[in-house]
Amino acid sequence: MKLGLSGRHALVTGGSKGIGYAIAAELLAEGAAVTICARTPDEVAAAAKSLDGAVSGHVCDVTDPAAVEALVAAAAAERGGIDILVNNAGGAHPGGFEDLTDEDWKRDLDVKLFSQIRCTRAALPHLRRSAAPRVININAVYARYPDPAFFATSVNRAACHNLTKVLAQQYGPEQILVNSVNIGFVVTPQWENIRARRAPSLTPDEFFAKLAAEEVPLGRFGAVDEVSGLVAFLASDRASYITGTSIDVAGGMGKYS
C-alpha cells in the first residue's frame, strides 16, 4: 500500500530507540522527511546514523518548555514546516499508590501528558499551514484499562486519552486530525526497567512469557513494527476521515467494550 507521505515532514519525539525509532524508520520508508528527538546525545546520534543519516536528530528534553519550543522551531525551519507530529516520548514509572511520591507523580505527568501538550501547542502554527496535518499520540491501553501495578500510567494516560479527544474536537474544523495509538505489551528497552523492579529473579523471556500468558489473548508481546505500521497509516491520506479515535495495538489486551 502506497501511503503517499512523500514530501511531508514528521517530527517524532522519543525517536532514538524502541517504538519511536521504529516509527521514524517506517515514515522514512514511506517517503516522509523525519526529525527525531531524545534526551541523550549519543542515542540521538546513533539513531540518526543507523537510519543512514536520512533523519535530522535533535537533543531535547520534552519536560523543558523552552527546549520544546526550540526543537519545533528548528525542525520546521530545516524542513519548511511540520505536517505530522508523533508524540511518543514517555517512560515507565511502575509502582502502586503507596509507592509513588509527589515527585514521581510530577515527573510522570510531565513526561507523558505535558510533553504532548507542549509539543502540540508548539507545532500548531506549522500544522495549520500543512495541507494534511496530523497529530498522533502514543498512549497505553491502561488509559481505559486501569491496573494498580501501573498506577501512575493508568491515571496519566487517561488524561492523555482525553487530551486526544478534545484536541480532535477543537481542531477538526481546521482539518487537523488527532488520534491516539494505545499500546499494550510491546518489547522496548523500558521493559527491562520494569522487569528489574517487579521480577528481578526472572529472565526477560520468562518475564515476558508470564505477563503475556496472564494478560494478552494472543499470548505474546508485540513488536515495535506492529505499532509503527498503524502510525504510518494514520499519518497518511488513507486515514483522512479518522480523527478523535483511540486504536489499541495490544494483542486483545484491555477488557473493555
Cα 139 from Cα 186, distance rounded (Å)? 12
Cβ atoms of 136 and 179 within 8 Å: the answer is yes
Q: How confident is the model at residue 255 (pLDDT cuts 50, 70, 90)?
A: confident
Largest Cα–Cα separation, the chain:
53
Output the pLDDT for position 1: 64
**Residue 93 pLDDT exceeds 80:** no
Q: What pLDDT, in 10s, does the model give residues 210-247?
A: 999 999 999 999 999 999 999 999 999 999 999 999 99
Q: In terms of residue numbers, what domain contains 120?
A: 9-186+222-249
Closest to 88 measured CA to CA, from 154, 22, 43, 32: 22
Output the pLDDT for position 84: 98
Q: What pLDDT, in 10s, does the model give residues 179-192?
A: 999 999 998 888 87
Cα 97 from Cα 119, distance rounded (Å)? 29
How many percent of the chain have pLDDT more than 70? 99
Residue 67 resides in a domain = yes
Residue 226 resides in a domain = yes
- Mean pLDDT across 111-121: 97
* Alpha-helix runs per DSSP H in 30-64: 41-50
Mean pLDDT, rounded, of the chain: 94
CA atoms within 13 A on the CB side of 184: 23
Q: Quote the strand ranges of 60-166, DSSP E.
A: 84-87, 134-140
DSSP string covering 69-112: HHHHHHHHHHHTS-SEEEE-------B-GGG--HHHHHHHHIII
Give the least confident one: 73-82, 141-150, 165-174, 228-237: 141-150
Cα 126 from Cα 257, distance rounded (Å)? 36
Provide the CATH number for the domain around residue 36. 3.40.50.720
Cβ atoms of 124 and 103 within 8 Å: the answer is no
* 253 grid coordinates: 489486551
Give the least confident one: 27-36, 69-78, 153-162, 182-191: 182-191
> What is the number of structural domains in the chain?
1
**Residue 92 pLDDT exceeds 80:** no
Cα 108 from Cα 122, distance rounded (Å)? 21
Cα 205 from Cα 173, distance rounded (Å)? 47
**Residue 256 pLDDT exceeds 70:** yes
Helix (H, G, I), strand (E, B) or coil at 180: strand
Residue 35 resides in a domain = yes
CA atoms within 13 A on the CB side of 217: 7
pTM of the model: 0.95
Burial code of 31-59, b = ≥16 C-beta within 10 A, e = fewer? ebbbbbbbbeeebbeebbeebeeebbbbb
Residue 214 resides in a domain = no
Residue 103 resides in a domain = yes
Residue 257 resides in a domain = no
Residue 193 resides in a domain = no
- Mean pLDDT across 140-150: 92
Helix 225-235 vs helix 18-29: angle between axes, to the nearest 10 degrees? 50
Residue 73 resides in a domain = yes
